[in-house]
Amino acid sequence: MTGRTRLTTTETVRDERSWLFTVRDQYDELDEVILVPCEEERTDGGATAESDDSAADADPDDPGVEAWINRCTHEAQRLDRGFGAAMRDGQIICPKHGSMFDACSGYCDNGDAADTTLPSVEVAVEDGAVYLADDGYEFVHEGSIEGGGEEAGDGDESQDDDDDMPSSTSHIGF
């Protein structure tokens, strides 16, 4: 691994219930990632290999944290639109159709995104700090693509398509 970037603390992720940041992938494209608390022990084998590896190295005194690409697998709806992901009972809720993804495994067993799993991003937790540990991504800034620094307007209008926030067809009320 070439190096890690410190992102935030496990306490911040736990208190805010999600933490959004922007990365650049190997194709020089910007993407968003959400950190969410994972309260479960990782012994069920339901998580991705990347998640299992980072969980095995984690300090047992630190709460678990997982990182997922900030897109529903059904229609690429942003799960966190810049003000926190909707969470309930350890699940991330898609604001458009109400599909619920397990915060620890990324797996969805209901709604329009059923039988899919969110793409994971490898993170490491050490002494209460969360680090980006995935060589496939480079940290750009905290917050959404639109919300940070000079990267915010680099001409890719497709990133703004869901900012109009379509009316929800979810069966779940908040």
Q: Please write the tens of the pLDDT for every residue from 57-109.
A: 444 555 699 999 999 999 989 999 989 999 999 999 999 999 999 999 999 99
pLDDT value at residue 49: 36
Lowest mean pLDDT among 14-18, 110-114, 164-168: 164-168
Which has the higher per-residue pLDDT, 43 or 167? 167
Length reported for the chain: 174
Q: Report if residue 111 sits inside a domain.
A: yes
For 11, the 3-state DSSP assignment is helix
Domain CATH for 78: 2.102.10.10
pLDDT tens-digit readout, 4-54: 899 999 999 999 999 999 999 999 999 999 999 998 653 433 333 344 444
pTM here is 0.74
Based on the structure, what is the number of domains in the chain? 1
Q: Report if residue 173 sits inside a domain.
A: no
pLDDT value at residue 44: 34
> For residues 127-163, b (16+ Cβ closer than 10 Å) or e, as one string?
eebbbbbbeebebbbebbbbebeeebeeeeeebeebe
CA 72 to chain centre: 10
Residue of 107, 108, 76, 102 whose CA lies nearest to 89: 102
Which has the higher per-residue pLDDT, 148 or 156? 148
Lowest mean pLDDT among 17-21, 38-42, 135-139, 143-147: 38-42
Q: Reply yes or no on whether the pLDDT at 1 is more than 60.
A: no
Contact 88, 97 (CB under 8 A): no
Q: Report if residue 166 sits inside a domain.
A: no
Q: Report if residue 32 sits inside a domain.
A: yes
Q: Report if residue 153 sits inside a domain.
A: no
Place of tokens 């898609």: 94
From the number of C-beta atoms within 10 Å of its C-beta (0-12, 13-18, 19+), residue 169 rates as exposed
Lowest mean pLDDT among 42-46, 72-76, 128-132, 140-144: 42-46
Residue 16 belongs to what domain range? 5-144
Q: Report if residue 113 sits inside a domain.
A: yes
